[in-house]
Structure 1
Amino acid sequence: MNKKILSWCLFDFANSSYSAVIAAVIFPVYYANVIVGNETGLGDLWWGRAIALSMAVVALTSPLLGGIADYAKIRKRLLFLYTLLCVASVSSFYFLHKGMVMEGFALIVIANIGMEGGLVFYNSFLPEIAEPAHQGRVSAWGFGVGYAGSVFSLLLALFLINKGLITGVWPMVALFFGIFSIPAFLSLPKDSRNGSRIHRAAMDGLRYTWKTLKKISANKEQRKFLGAYLIYEDGVNTVIVFSGIFAATTLKFNPEELISMYLIVQMTALIGAFLTARPTDYWGPKKVVLMSLCLWIIVSVAAFFVHDKGHFFIIACIAGLGLGTVQAASRAFYTQFIPQGQESEYFGVYSFVGKSSAVIGPLIFGFISSTFGSQRPAILSVALFFIVGLIIIYTVKGGGPNVMKKQEV
């Protein structure tokens, strides 16, 4: 492993501290229950708004950012600026206290834009640091190193919480992210001096994305697939965003239990992805996606009725299996629509749809929770995303076995 690849993987190690501690496990509960107060679902409402707004901004600007990354050739500088924006915002969480709803809202929106927006530039380095034949394994290395970063940062957070220093968790994450991202800024390829001007590059990226969207929308089956993916992935993202808050608020999970649940979900997601790798090729990704959506429907309905922590741990394990399965099988399904040699532009649209699928669900969850004063009807509403997605996917032609395709060729 050369220095560039190692530094790229270390950036995944660094930003996973944000994904685990800030976006998924600790800070959502702290913001909803402590900063806002979640007795009547108001914390859910504000957290849903923050996630929805930040992801909407990222989704709408991602074609522009992609164009800047590809054509202006200043992605390293922009990756640094977005990382700095995220790190500075997270470190400012230290000054938040009960009642600072708008200040916390603004900071999490800015932090999430910095994190998610920076990933556009981070991902664009992969083709430059790894040969095509090695990109899959390098991507997997980054994922594995990122998982280690999640575990390590959560253990550090748990140590601080047990010492009664929960407000110290936020500067810890900022330092963790900042320090372990330094190798990337030192070793990744430098920016080119002969790129287009930023505004022209941004417009080139927008035109490129629009052209690809028009091309895909002309194909009925691709259009239906992406529509279904947008809907059911919104359900998946809503579960990810609110599962920690639901466990802490409704089931009274303590920080140790929340972290244990998160780690178990991560492990079962890996297991699910590996277990369904062969069936995806032999049965076809469509069948696997349909099966995983049925699993998600069961999980959503079961969570509505659960009152016992042990039972919720079991549901979380099943959800983890569904998480790894639906993400891997969806990507495999989509690849069957992609003409040879057009992988980059088609996956650019796939990524754009994926980022757009974290807007409506969090808003609906927060609205229902605050309206009913309970998270149970809100978690049940998520099942509708999976049901609608399942119905649409069922009508999509394609998604057959990959093995048969290879044999016919």
Structure 2
Amino acid sequence: MTGIAQGGTDAQVSPHETSRRRVVAWSFWDWGSAAFNAVVTTFVFTVYITGSSFGDKDVISAQLGWALAIAGFLVAVLAPITGQRSDTSGRRKLWLGVNTFIVVIITAAMFFVQASPDFLLLGLFLVAAGNVFFEFAGVNYNAMLAQVSTPRTIGKVSGFGWGMGYIGGIVLLLIVYFGFIQPEVGLFGVTGENGLSVRVAMLIAAAWFGLFALPVLLTVPEYHSPATVRRERVGFLRSYVVLGQDIARLWKTSRHTVYFLIASAVFRDGLAGVFTFGGVLAASVFGFSPGEVIIFAIAANVVAGIATISVGVLDDRLGAKPVIVTALVGLIVCGGLVFFLHDGGQIVFWTAGLALTLFVGPAQSASRTFLARLIPPGREGEVFGLYATTGRAVSFLAPTMFALMVTIFGETYWGILGIVLVLLVGLLVLIPVKPKQDQIG
């Protein structure tokens, strides 16, 4: 997403044109995306394929980590190209739609992953591929925030969308749990034989995402970059030259913004790792059944949603950096407790695990507002584009550290330590960053 306009764009609505209808339509994508975030990558499908039906749980957990690490690497390689092309071509909404419905198709294809080791490779491939295209869709979705908000409402609109994502996750998990996972015979006569209940849940998730992605595609106008800042579409290698030029210019004019981009890229990947591997850890280490994992997921989404909505008050009163630092310290402490007390049974994960989710949302929300306060005037679009790109560029860190620790020590619970280390590195890089600075140039 390099090369986004400095300042506003002609696709950004003016204050008197802000439309509640467009905001709601835009936020429904977040509501629908819970189908992939909560059901596929966190609490249902990844728990399913790391179960005993597919082989040794510890080995499969490591394989899942490597599959997601490969996906993260592919995103890092391709994100600059996809972001630039959607901006320069004026087809941001088109690519949001294309990438979203690729994810929908991939999610539906998970129905064919039967409960057998013979289908493990297919399951890992679909999870990895889904993550790649979901990240691409997210780049375009986040870029559309400026099209449905104004400088005065961008925080409120962003928080509303984030909250819709948590609420959507709760509703869909309740449908999946009580409709298919928990009953011996669920809706439409579905049972758990050969993983059918989970596989049908993937069809429900695919339909859910596809349905709730439609409002933003039908309601929000297509983006068109202003002629004064429009760039030519560049090739594969040249895209990295352009990215480097943007970062070099930002380094000269707003150095601590670059420091924060680096720090946030690291700790945001650690935050993603908490949710990505939370369900796997609950099932593999703490003995949660698939149904218990979903109940925990519902509770986790409630806690995360309340915390994320509430943190805005603290952010305004204390500033974003204290909120982020406190959240990261809390995550590191709670992650350490989960690691060292892993023999303590489910009560450990219920308490320390829910505490983890208490800090994830606030760290994510405050990260965005911290950056907004650092951006040199007139460069909001460019810097938030770099924010997206740098985040994708290290999206392999948490999966790699998780997989590496599990591979080295041979026990899934060691993966917790890998995620904690990523969060710790992000915190250490963040500490010297100044929340306020004199802008140069």
| Pairwise CA distance, 1:198 | 8.8
Contact 1:365 1:378 in 2 (8 A): yes
AA partner of residue 421 (structure 2): L
1:98-117 to 2 correspondences below 5 Å: 98-99=116-117, 100-117=119-136
Aligned equivalent of 1:232 = 267
**What CA RMSD, in Å, does the superposition of the two structures yield over aligned residues?**
3.0
Alignment partner of 1:30 out of 48, 70, 80: 48
The verdict on how the C-alpha distance between 1:295 and 1:270 changes in structure 2, with shifts beyond 3 A counting, is: same
For residues 427 and 30 of structure 2, the distance between their equivalents in structure 1, rounded to whole angstroms, comes to: 32
Structure 1, 194-203 or 383-392: larger mean CA deviation: 194-203
Aligned equivalent of 2:13 = none
For the residue of structure 1 that corresponds to 2:83, the secondary structure is helix
- TM-score, with length taken from structure 1: 0.87
For the residue of structure 2 that corresponds to 1:133, the secondary structure is coil
Aligned equivalent of 2:214 = 182
The verdict on how the C-alpha distance between 1:38 and 1:363 changes in structure 2, with shifts beyond 3 A counting, is: farther
For residues 133 and 281 of structure 1, the distance between their equivalents in structure 2, rounded to whole angstroms, comes to: 14
Structure 1, 105-114 or 283-292: larger mean CA deviation: 283-292
Q: Cα deviation per residue 1:11-32 (whole Å; 9 max; x = unaligned)?
A: 2222221111001110111122
For residues 142 and 257 of structure 2, the distance between their equivalents in structure 1, rounded to whole angstroms, comes to: 24
Aligned-pair identity (%): 25
Aligned equivalent of 1:299 = 334
| Pairwise CA distance, 1:36 | 4.0
Aligned equivalent of 1:122 = 141
Aligned equivalent of 1:359 = 396
| Pairwise CA distance, 1:205 | 6.5
Contact 1:64 1:202 in 2 (8 A): yes
The verdict on how the C-alpha distance between 1:314 and 1:62 changes in structure 2, with shifts beyond 3 A counting, is: same
Alignment partner of 2:354 out of 306, 309, 317: 317
Structure 1, 200-209 or 156-165: larger mean CA deviation: 200-209
Contact 1:68 1:202 in 2 (8 A): no
For residues 201 and 127 of structure 1, the distance between their equivalents in structure 2, rounded to whole angstroms, comes to: 27
Structure 1, 276-285 or 346-355: larger mean CA deviation: 276-285
For residues 380 and 61 of structure 2, the distance between their equivalents in structure 1, rounded to whole angstroms, comes to: 38
AA partner of residue 53 (structure 1): I
Contact 1:88 1:174 in 2 (8 A): yes
AA partner of residue 370 (structure 1): T
Aligned equivalent of 1:399 = 435
Q: Cα deviation per residue 1:319-362 (whole Å; 9 max; x = unaligned)?
A: 12221232233333333431111111111111222223431221
Q: Cα deviation per residue 1:369-389 (whole Å; 9 max; x = unaligned)?
A: 233221222212333223333
AA partner of residue 233 (structure 1): R
| Pairwise CA distance, 1:148 | 2.7
Aligned equivalent of 1:82 = 99
For residues 387 and 112 of structure 1, the distance between their equivalents in structure 2, rounded to whole angstroms, comes to: 24
The verdict on how the C-alpha distance between 1:320 and 1:95 changes in structure 2, with shifts beyond 3 A counting, is: same
Aligned equivalent of 2:409 = 372
The verdict on how the C-alpha distance between 1:119 and 1:226 changes in structure 2, with shifts beyond 3 A counting, is: closer
Alignment partner of 1:15 out of 5, 29, 33: 33
The verdict on how the C-alpha distance between 1:254 and 1:92 changes in structure 2, with shifts beyond 3 A counting, is: same
Contact 2:159 2:365 in 1 (8 A): no
Residue segments in structure 2 that go unaligned for 5+ positions in a row: 1-18, 192-196
| Pairwise CA distance, 1:282 | 4.2
For residues 389 and 46 of structure 1, the distance between their equivalents in structure 2, rounded to whole angstroms, comes to: 25
Aligned equivalent of 2:4 = none
| Pairwise CA distance, 1:181 | 2.1
Contact 2:46 2:280 in 1 (8 A): yes
Contact 1:10 1:181 in 2 (8 A): yes
The verdict on how the C-alpha distance between 1:220 and 1:247 changes in structure 2, with shifts beyond 3 A counting, is: same
Contact 1:232 1:385 in 2 (8 A): yes
Contact 1:261 1:316 in 2 (8 A): no
AA partner of residue 347 (structure 2): G
Matched, 1:213 2:233: no
Aligned equivalent of 1:308 = 345
For residues 417 and 235 of structure 2, the distance between their equivalents in structure 1, rounded to whole angstroms, comes to: 44
Aligned equivalent of 1:260 = 295
For the residue of structure 2 that corresponds to 1:395, the secondary structure is coil
Contact 1:231 1:385 in 2 (8 A): yes
| Pairwise CA distance, 1:132 | 3.8
Residue segments in structure 1 that go unaligned for 5+ positions in a row: none
Structure 1, 337-346 or 146-155: larger mean CA deviation: 146-155
Counting matched residue pairs gives: 400
AA partner of residue 213 (structure 2): S
- TM-score, with length taken from structure 2: 0.81
The verdict on how the C-alpha distance between 1:7 and 1:342 changes in structure 2, with shifts beyond 3 A counting, is: same
Structure 1, 126-135 or 313-322: larger mean CA deviation: 126-135
The verdict on how the C-alpha distance between 1:59 and 1:295 changes in structure 2, with shifts beyond 3 A counting, is: same
| Pairwise CA distance, 1:365 | 1.1
Aligned equivalent of 1:326 = 363
Contact 2:296 2:350 in 1 (8 A): yes
For residues 27 and 368 of structure 2, the distance between their equivalents in structure 1, rounded to whole angstroms, comes to: 22
| Pairwise CA distance, 1:42 | 1.5
| Pairwise CA distance, 1:299 | 1.0
Contact 1:297 1:387 in 2 (8 A): yes
For residues 139 and 326 of structure 2, the distance between their equivalents in structure 1, rounded to whole angstroms, comes to: 31
Aligned equivalent of 2:9 = none
AA partner of residue 140 (structure 1): G
| Pairwise CA distance, 1:309 | 1.4
Q: Which has the higher helix share?
A: 1
Alignment partner of 1:172 out of 188, 204, 209: 204
Aligned equivalent of 1:54 = 71
Aligned equivalent of 2:181 = 161
| Pairwise CA distance, 1:303 | 0.3
AA partner of residue 330 (structure 2): L
